[in-house]
A and B are shown apart, each in its own frame.
Chain A
Amino acid sequence: MTAPAESETALEPVIGLEVHVQPITRAKMFCGCSADYAGAEPNTHVCPVCLGLPGVLPVVNEEAIRLIVRTGLALNCGIAAFSKFDRKNYPYPDLMKGYQVSQYDLPLCSGGWLEAEAEGEPFRAGITRVHMEEDTARLLHRTDAATGEGYSLIDVNRSGTPLMEIVGEPDLRSPEQARAFLVELRAILRTIEASRANMEEGNFRCDANVSLRPRGAEALGVKVEIKNMNSFRAVHEALRFEIGRQTAILEGGGTIRQETRGWDQQRRETAAQRSKEEADDYRYFPEPDLPPLAPGRAFVEEIRAGLPELPAARRRRYRALGLSAFEAATLAEARDRSEFADAVAAALPFPPARAAKLAANWTLGEAARWSNEHDGERLDRFPLTPAALAELIALAEDGTITGQVAAGVFARMVEEGGSAAGIVEREGLARVDAGDELAAVVRRVVAENGKAAADYRAGKTAAIKRLLGGVMRETRGRADPNTARELLERELGA
């Protein structure tokens, strides 16, 4: 079965996303164990509390509360003056206490939104709530090599690490919007340094709810929950598939079953996991081991004051400076990139719009290439300071050096350090203008490339490129290409 393309039917998809995000905290949510267990031996980041031994009690990690409030504020949520933790009761071997400490009816953050752009169209999507909970242990399923029998091991390292659940309103209307929502959410979380927000690493997990309804209708259709999507691409593909599946059923006169379906990456389809008819009763009740949370105004305002500029604001600022939508989005998506470009622009002796354009070109070009070649290294670790790069850009812009020389100097600076002006000075890389030196080079190149010269004179004007290349080679790129071309044309025409 293949996914039918999004149909032009009178049916409209309604999509809501639920994202679980692991915030960056030193300690777990309710104990002092290190939350940085990636790569650690199983069951080494554990203590009586996160093992759920008889008698233990939770203590709230204030760092995690700060991060969720930060997240809530960045998502334009209201922060509850009175919030609390609740127990979500369900038995499962990965749940050490037999209940998960979560938040039920009074989440810390609610009523927010984010803005993003899909297929050139800006949109705003609501955030129902952001609440705090604890993660479960991890079950590792094994098969006994001798008997062939299955068994499971439990790694408790993840148990009790903090999780933020971000619930989006069913405001998304296409898989493209869903992907844009996730990209924007990830950008915000990274910008405010709340989470690494990496789906592949498992610290950003997404479930989707999707239903269809006749275009223009108010009431929502029967929704299906999709799980098991491990990348943004998977979310997009799974939603496309699911919309197609539901469309086919509805157009065929069928009805949608309310159920949970899993995305099968290999088969590229969703498959029923379990029916919602056997709905779980989690028997929520207020966690008696924790007093209510009452984040004070001062606490919230202090966090708000410490928020960095958010991606949407960065995008608006770049667009106002004349950058393209793509440039603005690409810079704003990563705070290190955006701040690097801003610092370069600030160091350039040009008007803001021109400085921004140049900074964006170099940041998204040379600097981004360096980052890609270094395993996605952040630009705050880039070997050139923004000021050093700005100096180089200025030399190229004011004509002291040619573009070709600038690229070479850039590579030297990355490898060896040093200032652009120093390298140009030491190596004699200043641009060669119309003068005796360049005129001599031009004459020599024409004389040594008789065939190219003859071709040009015979009307194959493209042959000038070979001659120009020769001039650039001879001058180590120092010649201004336009001047060199003029001199060549004059020489050939003579």
Chain B
Amino acid sequence: MSELWRLSAHAAGEGLRAREFTAVELTESVLARVEAVEPRVNAYITRMDGIALEQAREADARFAAGTATPLTGIPFAVKDLIVTKGVRTTAGSRMLENFIPPYDSHVAAQLKRAGAVMVGKANMDEFAMGSSTEHSAFGPTANPWDTGRVPGGSSGGSAAAVAAGECLAALGSDTGGSIRQPAALCGVVGLDPTYGRVSRYGIVAFGSSLDQVGPIGRDVEDVAAILDGIGGHDPRDSTSDPAPSPDMRHYLGRDVRGMRLAAPREYFGDGIEPGVRARVEEALARLERLGCEVDTDLSLPMTEHALAVYYLIAPSEASSNLARYDGVKYGLSARGGSMWENMERTRAAGFGEEVKRRIMLGAYALSAGYYDQFYLKAQRVRTLIAREFRDAFARYDALVTPTAPTVAFPRGAKLDDPYAMYLNDALTLPASVAGLPALSLPCGLSEGLPVGLQIIGDVGAEGAILRIGHALERDLGQANRLAPLP
């Protein structure tokens, strides 16, 4: 059986259940694809071929025993900040180059429980800080649509692996757009769930009040199925929603007639590339034809403050979360000199430039005399942003925007200009700051590169945005689009 790696996860699931092929055959096909394209893409930091094949054999046994789940036998890429017992977890950092965790994250355990196959640990910007996967200690990941361009970030390895056929589905994490923006730039589907939907236990922390694990897949049905597999309450994460997670696939294939959408003006401003704007507007026209009401007059004036709020809160939390990497207990340890010199040397050698920049930014925002004017003020504005969204969701079922202002940009183009890099996330940050679920799905090409459309939902309303996304995806007729990478 050839090129099984081209299948979507749900199509592969059907084939597995029908015994058209085995999980081992599917995994071997994916591993061969990895072998073929990885030198050009670099989607993985750590490959897990041996473990993957073993898990595939176990998956086949479950199909034989009749205990398979929708994710059984599906080859996954897992972002390398998701802690995996016995498999090194680097978070893209030199600091954790040799860190082999003694425990499993909640989501890794959920994938194992479901019988999924782990192909490898996906590349990422160091500690999830970046929008291009160029800030990885393990080399940049290339965009499979054009290997001279970035895949987005920070979950660039996960998105690129899905788009390149190096896995069928992936887990990423989103703090300010880290699932949605790379999904958009790689032409795949990414979902940032409601904050609290998926347990953060075992996710190497960046911005704790913003981090959320979510799925990246080749179509909306796949991300819905993965969220069903990883979502729900986990008592080990006190911020996880105690209510049971609804069955997301239940919302798929439904009519969207009468659904009220808005395309807030602030998301269609000057910074948006014309090609991106055109594809999103065409998609909005499709949604109208499908029976949705689309309001293009909505204004959300707080939107412009999300960037500042995010770049105060996330680095503040990061400056504290990353304090544990001191070379004393695990990970990199640059020895020599006094205890304090050890710690300084370790952190100087272990962290990259972007990480250091954000730690300093965060430590400054929290320091005595600046806390009120930076961190505290940011939290207050954050509340205002959330309130503005809440008011909007009293009138609309979802908001539709571009995911990123541009298509994938060339490697190195924004490396020397952090602020230009930060602007990449301007359209994804507001939902993150408010803890809202948001979906990115491909809505066509511009200059031969994928354009992503973002659907933002109310707290807990993943069902609504998946329903709209699924209807649009069907109408576009472009589900399971792989990158044209030979």
Contacts and interface: CB of A to CB of B under 8 A. Distances in A.
B91 A54 contact: yes
Interface string B352-382: 0000000000010011100100010000000
A289 interface: yes
B51 to A, nearest CB: 19
Contacts of A152: 339
Nearest to A58: B238
B363 A283 contact: yes
A60 B237 CA distance: 10
Interface stretch (B38-46, B141-149, B203-211, B266-274): B203-211
A55 B203 contact: yes
Interface in A70-88: 87
Nearest to B102: A48
A284 to B, nearest CB: 8
B239 A53 contact: no
A291 B238 contact: yes
B99, B203, B236, B343 interface centre (most CB from chain A within 10 Å):
B236
Given A48-B102, A281-B367, A285-B316, A54 B324 contact: yes
A398 B376 CA distance: 75
Contacts of B89: 54-55
B224 interface: no
State which size class the interface on B falls in: 35 or more
A52 B330 CA distance: 10
B317 A288 contact: yes
Contacts of B258: none
Nearest to A53: B101
A57 B236 contact: yes
Nearest to A87: B320
B394 interface: no
Interface stretch (A19-27, A89-97, A313-321, A343-351): A89-97
Interface in B87-136: 89, 91, 96, 99, 101-103, 105
B103 A48 contact: yes
B201 interface: yes
Interface in A41-68: 48, 51-60
Interface in B162-219: 200-205, 207-209
B342 to A, nearest CB: 9
B28 interface: no
A48 to B, nearest CB: 5
B208 A97 contact: no
Query: Which secondary structure dominates chain A's binding surface?
Result: loop
A154 interface: yes
Interface string A200-232: 000000000000000000000000000000000
Given A55-B205, A57-B236, A285-B316, A93 B91 contact: no
Contacts of B207: 288
A99 interface: yes
B99 A54 contact: yes
B328 interface: yes
Nearest to A287: B208
B323 interface: yes
A285 B324 CA distance: 17
Interface string A276-288: 0000010111001
Interface string B325-342: 110111000000001000
Contacts of A60: 238
B443 interface: no
Interface residues of A, number: 29
B101, B238, B325 interface centre (most CB from chain A within 10 Å):
B238
A52 B329 contact: yes
B276 interface: no
B83 to A, nearest CB: 4
A262 to B, nearest CB: 20
A4 interface: no
Interface string B363-405: 1001110010001000000000000000000000000000000
Given A283-B367, A288-B317, A291-B238, A56 B202 contact: yes
A58 B102 CA distance: 17
B323 A55 contact: no
A296 interface: no
B418 interface: no
Contacts of A352: none
Contacts of A291: 238-239
Contacts of A454: none
B363 to A, nearest CB: 6
A98 B201 CA distance: 18
Contact of B201 (A55, A89, A96): A55
Contacts of B322: 98
Contact of A55 (B101, B238, B326): B101
A54, A60, A91, A96 interface centre (most CB from chain B within 10 Å):
A54
A75 B327 CA distance: 42
A57 B237 contact: yes
A77 B164 CA distance: 62
B366 A57 contact: no
A149 B163 CA distance: 56
Interface string A92-131: 0100111100000000000000000000000000000000
B235 interface: yes
B238 A93 contact: no
A290 interface: yes
B328 A154 contact: yes
A59 B235 CA distance: 8
B288 to A, nearest CB: 40
B194 to A, nearest CB: 15
A239 to B, nearest CB: 30
Nearest to B93: A54
Nearest to B202: A55
B320 A59 contact: no
Interface in A253-299: 281, 283-285, 288-291
A355 to B, nearest CB: 52
A59 B83 contact: no
Contacts of A99: 320, 323
B154 to A, nearest CB: 16
A291 B208 CA distance: 12
B238 A54 contact: no
Given A281-B368, A285-B371, A57 B201 contact: yes
Contacts of B329: 51-52, 96, 154
B208 A289 contact: yes
Contacts of B343: 91
Nearest to B210: A288
A91 B323 CA distance: 7
A10 to B, nearest CB: 37
A273 B325 CA distance: 28
A89 B204 contact: no
Contact of B326 (A48, A51, A91, A281): A91
B101 A289 contact: no
B45 to A, nearest CB: 15
A48 B100 CA distance: 12
Given A55-B204, A57-B200, A288-B208, A89 B235 contact: no
A465 B148 CA distance: 114
Interface in B35-84: 81, 83
25 contacts: A51-B329, A53-B83, A53-B102, A54-B91, A54-B99, A54-B204, A55-B101, A55-B205, A57-B200, A59-B238, A89-B320, A89-B323, A89-B366, A91-B323, A97-B323, A97-B324, A98-B320, A154-B328, A154-B329, A283-B319, A283-B366, A285-B320, A285-B366, A285-B371, A291-B238
The 5 closest A-B pairs by CB, nearest first: A98-B323, A283-B366, A288-B208, A288-B209, A55-B202
Given A55-B200, A93-B326, A97-B324, 14 more contacts: A51-B329, A54-B101, A55-B201, A56-B202, A59-B236, A93-B328, A93-B339, A98-B326, A99-B323, A281-B367, A281-B368, A283-B371, A291-B238, A291-B239
Interface of B: 81, 83, 89, 91, 96, 99, 101-103, 105, 200-205, 207-209, 235-239, 316-317, 319-320, 322-326, 328-330, 339, 343, 363, 366-368, 371, 375
